Structure 1
Amino acid sequence: MKKITVRLTLVFLISLGIGCRSLKNSKKYFDTKQKEVYIDSMMNNALEKGFFPGAQIVVGSKDSVFILKNYGYHDTSKKQLVKTDNVYDLASMSKVLGATLVAMRLVGEDKINLEDKLGEVVAVYKNTAIADLTLFELLTHTSGLKSGITFYQSLLSTTDGSPLLSNQQSAGYPNSFDAMYVNKNIVYDTKYLAFEPKENYVQIYKNMWLNPEFYKTVYGRIALANNNPRGNYLYSDLNLILVQQMMEAKTGITLDQLAKEIYSELGISKIGYNPLKWTSEENVIPTEIDNFFRKDTIKGFVHDEAAAILGGVSGNAGLFANAASISVICQMLLNNGKYHGKQILKAKVVAAFTKSPLAKKGIYRGLGFDKRKPDAFYKKSDFGHTGYTGTFFFLNPNNNKFLIILTNRVNPSRTNRLMYKDDFSSKIWKQINN
């Protein structure tokens, strides 16, 4: 019945003498409405099944936004509806929307080179086993570094020396954390942690400050983390932390400030690190109820523990944004680095970063950007990234379409992986990308 209605409507438009251009726009309208109906169906089903409490979605092209919608609530209490200005913790989408964008800018300005070596740029890694790693290897995740290090756990211990976590719930391990249970007698290392502001300490949560001496331990452990074959692909948070350090060492400017310069040029303000410095707490979507490290519902501070240790500004995570702000970045990328007549990034740099330079080796990764081996959901030209908190964005430069999905699937717990088991985001991207 729906197809018949559409066909009759088009005939009616032609009978009124509407030109070819209007007819073409009418087809686009109906196509958009069909996709919106599909998205609504997917979202309502996801909310009903508890994939996440709420979400923002944007569908657009290089010069238009077709769909911008909010769904559900801030958290499982269902007291506060999601609004367009609300910002989500982007998790690993920060790798591209923060660190990689900055790298693209600096490469285009010849302020950093893809062949620059870590140890020659960042003094702390000189004469270490990872000194020869290049910016290219870090951005393509071919450095050989392990996937990550739980730095924060070395700040915790127990009063009787028993393990921090157990796979069995008991009186001694009452509260859950990531399919494990937390020792009720955890204590914090007061050599490095303070629970009120302290001179030169770095704030890592609303009631936690870190002695910067701890960073010697962090950098020392990263320097020993190359236990995989160099040149092979292994996704690692450590890579982008090192990218951040290289860029900050080259410029003398912090990552958050470097990123803010780009966002300001794009005219977007609902994006940045440490969101409580630029928006209200009620405007921030909460993430997990953390029973382990922060003993709180995380809201306004980064969910990722490594990024938290680094003060909320990290190459691997830390960005917060709303979908509308990200849509501007998508349009800039689809317009070869240009937005509203201004060249934000050089076109040749955008092209280089969003291709797969190692595809002949079976590595489909871009520079910073996630790319997939072509399959039922993804095309060869597609690029984007996902985030652990339940975030997703992908673009296709061939048809100039993009999709952004922001959720907080980790609320109340990171054990909720329903949206991944259902290929939720990939299914919507396939529908939009066709």
Structure 2
Amino acid sequence: MKKTMIRIALVSLVFLGISGYGQNKAKQSFDVKRNEVYIDSMMTNALQKGFFPGAQIMVGNRDAVFISKNYGFQDYSKKQSVKSEDVYDLASMSKVLGATLVTMRLAGEDKIKLTDKLGDVAAVYKSTPIADLTLFELLTHTSGLKASITFYQSLLSTPDGSPLLSSEKSAEYPELFDTMYVNKNIVYDSNYLSFMPKENWIQIYKNMWLNPEFYKTVYAQIAAANVNPRGKYVYSDLNLLLVKQMIETKTGKKLDQLTNEIYNELGISKIGYNPLKWTSIENVMPTEVDNFFRKDTIHGYVHDEAAAIFGGVSGNAGLFANAESIAVICKMLLNNGKYNGKQILKAAIVKEFTKSPLAKEGIYRGLGFDKRKPDEFFKADDFGHTGFTGTFFFLNPDTERFLIILTNRVNPTRTNRLMYKDDFSAKIWRQINK
């Protein structure tokens, strides 16, 4: 009887060992050919239907890159094919790859706390209605602030006071911007905007400089933007503008300095704000034809108008990167904050920021990071972020895989939302995690 029991126990142990081994192999195995065929098919369809002019796609895990491919062209003129060194405007992916990444570093060094209050850190908000907002509320988008403010539109007017935009095309409103038509007689506020460089003014586009006095009105508008119930989830660009102010005040350094310190440690160079300072315009993907504010095809400067107002360095947007540089950050996050033997971020901080602390309340959001209510495409532990310009990156800590999709779907216009109607990125994400 004893021998039988021992034999059963041994068989059970062997079976458990084999099962565990099988699970580990399944976790690590990735059918490159099958997934590459799927991605190629998706991309061919997307390019044929005009989802975007071109794209970079990268798939990998914590240790390696499995698929790295470029598709299409920089724009619809089809003069320049997409190449690996091309950098894309990441739009809201900047929220996590910029301000959130820095916040994680500072939190790990006990230089900032999630319980820190905005008014205690940034004096400009000390006696305002939003003074008591915590860093936690800002990062989880539960601050109650409205989704956004079009700061730049207060810099524009018309001589006769007619509206800046109209829903109808006419002789007075000939050019399309998004779904509206632009008044042909728009005037720029010369108190705050100049088309020539001025001392201490901030360059916001290649031929535009902003009087920094304008920021006083920006901060006043943000301070009065608490229009939603505090604790309710409302995704807002304003939250990350405030996170930027908090980390800059805490450190005495600018956001681009702080991000560059991390990027340098990671050994990545095709990522940063204001790309024309570190790469050539030939390596920057063009975005929208802006008939409204900048009267130009945006190329080499940030697409997002709020980030432009802040000189291209903002908490909500502003980063440009290629897939290769983002892949290094993905590997670091999947390796619990470690990369090439260096502990870039503390493991406990990575875990804390990429979980859903408010899931019990039905808020599927990490700290800075985008997370989704589990469905056919996304699992509970998945995290990442998307960007308005047509960018996407997500990581799955269970399969240890990541996916990066960079497109410039807003070229030539933001009205092109075809990739979203087709669940394009989500379908590829589901495929690579099978």
TM-score normalised by L of structure 2: 0.94
Deviations 1:13-41 (A, max 9, x none): xxxxxxx99xx79x946x11100000000
Match in the other structure for 1:270: 270
Opposite residue 150 of structure 2, the aligned amino acid is T
Opposite residue 257 of structure 1, the aligned amino acid is Q
Q: What does residue range 311-350 of structure 1 map to in structure 2 within 5 Å? A: 311-350=311-350
Match in the other structure for 2:383: 383
Match in the other structure for 2:224: 224
- In the alignment, the residues of structure 2 paired with residue 166 and residue 158 of structure 1 have an alpha-carbon distance, to the nearest angstrom, of 13
Q: What does residue range 273-284 of structure 1 map to in structure 2 within 5 Å? A: 273-284=273-284
Give the SS at the match of 2:36.
Answer: helix
Give the SS at the match of 1:320.
Answer: strand
Q: CA deviation at 1:433?
A: 1.4
Match in the other structure for 1:15: none
Residue 289 of structure 2 is aligned to residue 289 of structure 1: yes
Match in the other structure for 1:165: 165
Match in the other structure for 1:249: 249
Match in the other structure for 1:114: 114
Match in the other structure for 2:183: 183
- In the alignment, the residues of structure 2 paired with residue 226 and residue 195 of structure 1 have an alpha-carbon distance, to the nearest angstrom, of 34
Give the SS at the match of 1:176.
Answer: strand
Give the SS at the match of 1:287.
Answer: coil
- In the alignment, the residues of structure 1 paired with residue 276 and residue 229 of structure 2 have an alpha-carbon distance, to the nearest angstrom, of 41
Residue 363 of structure 2 is aligned to residue 359 of structure 1: no
Match in the other structure for 2:42: 42
Q: How many residues align?
A: 411
Match in the other structure for 2:310: 310
- In the alignment, the residues of structure 2 paired with residue 191 and residue 340 of structure 1 have an alpha-carbon distance, to the nearest angstrom, of 50
- In the alignment, the residues of structure 2 paired with residue 236 and residue 201 of structure 1 have an alpha-carbon distance, to the nearest angstrom, of 27
Match in the other structure for 2:60: 60
RMSD: 1.3
Give the SS at the match of 2:430.
Answer: helix
Deviations 1:56-114 (A, max 9, x none): 00000000100000000001111000000000000000000000000000000001000
- In the alignment, the residues of structure 1 paired with residue 389 and residue 256 of structure 2 have an alpha-carbon distance, to the nearest angstrom, of 20
Give the SS at the match of 2:282.
Answer: helix
Deviations 1:319-373 (A, max 9, x none): 0000000000000000000001110000000000000000000001000000000
Match in the other structure for 1:201: 201
Opposite residue 330 of structure 1, the aligned amino acid is C
- In the alignment, the residues of structure 2 paired with residue 223 and residue 115 of structure 1 have an alpha-carbon distance, to the nearest angstrom, of 19
Match in the other structure for 1:128: 128
Unaligned runs of 5+ in 2: 1-20
Match in the other structure for 2:94: 94
Match in the other structure for 2:213: 213
Deviations 1:249-281 (A, max 9, x none): 000000000000000000000000000000011
Match in the other structure for 2:6: none
- In the alignment, the residues of structure 2 paired with residue 89 and residue 102 of structure 1 have an alpha-carbon distance, to the nearest angstrom, of 19
Match in the other structure for 1:261: 261
Deviations 1:390-424 (A, max 9, x none): 00000000110000000000000000000000000
- In the alignment, the residues of structure 2 paired with residue 303 and residue 205 of structure 1 have an alpha-carbon distance, to the nearest angstrom, of 10
Deviations 1:362-387 (A, max 9, x none): 00100000000000000001000000
Opposite residue 406 of structure 2, the aligned amino acid is L
- In the alignment, the residues of structure 1 paired with residue 419 and residue 284 of structure 2 have an alpha-carbon distance, to the nearest angstrom, of 22
What is the percent sequence identity of the aligned residues?
A: 78
Deviations 1:143-173 (A, max 9, x none): 0000000000000001111000000001110
Deviations 1:219-275 (A, max 9, x none): 000000000000010000000000000000000000000000000000000000000
- In the alignment, the residues of structure 2 paired with residue 149 and residue 130 of structure 1 have an alpha-carbon distance, to the nearest angstrom, of 16
Deviations 1:286-314 (A, max 9, x none): 00000000000000100000000011000
Match in the other structure for 1:371: 371
Opposite residue 365 of structure 1, the aligned amino acid is R
- In the alignment, the residues of structure 2 paired with residue 181 and residue 282 of structure 1 have an alpha-carbon distance, to the nearest angstrom, of 30
- In the alignment, the residues of structure 2 paired with residue 200 and residue 64 of structure 1 have an alpha-carbon distance, to the nearest angstrom, of 45
Unaligned runs of 5+ in 1: 1-19
Match in the other structure for 2:8: none
Match in the other structure for 1:17: none
Opposite residue 354 of structure 2, the aligned amino acid is T
Match in the other structure for 1:12: none
Opposite residue 207 of structure 1, the aligned amino acid is N
- In the alignment, the residues of structure 2 paired with residue 382 and residue 400 of structure 1 have an alpha-carbon distance, to the nearest angstrom, of 10
